[in-house]
């Protein structure tokens, strides 16, 4: 089976973003200010305090759902504002 890569990743690839709180590094891509894709790996998941807290609470009930990390979300926004994380829907200014 052939895996087809998302052609949008050629124009604006996933970019490493480090959390300013815990140092976890994820891959992120901003299509617009309203849409962000984040890929977590095992190392980043292990470092994220908010994820560990959510998992700890989930252990006390029937499962759980990790909706996201506020600290990582803020780090991604900062990276976009600083120009470190490119925005797919914004034209190059140059």
**How does pLDDT run along the chain (94 residues), one tens digit per residue?**
676 666 666 678 899 999 999 999 999 999 999 999 999 999 999 999 998 888 777 666 666 667 789 999 999 999 999 999 999 876 554 4
User: pTM for the whole thing?
Assistant: 0.78
- Please report the pLDDT score of residue 94 as a whole number: 47
Residue ranges of domains in the chain: 11-81
Give helix then strand counts, H and E, for the chain. 4, 3
CA distances to 5, 41, 94 from 71, rounded to whole Å, are: 29, 16, 31
- Please report the pLDDT score of residue 54 as a whole number: 81
Q: What would the two tokens of residue 81 be? A: 């504002």
């Amino acid at each position: 089976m052939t895996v087809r890569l998302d052609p949008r990743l050629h124009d604006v690839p996933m970019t490493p973003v480090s959390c300013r709180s815990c140092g976890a590094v994820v891959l992120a891509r901003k299509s617009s200010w309203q849409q962000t894709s984040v890929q977590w790996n095992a190392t980043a998941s292990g470092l994220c305090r908010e994820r560990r807290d959510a998992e700890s609470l989930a252990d006390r009930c029937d499962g759980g759902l990790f909706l996201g990390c506020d600290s990582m979300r803020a780090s991604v926004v900062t990276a976009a504002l600083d120009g470190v994380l490119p925005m797919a829907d914004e034209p190059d200014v140059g």
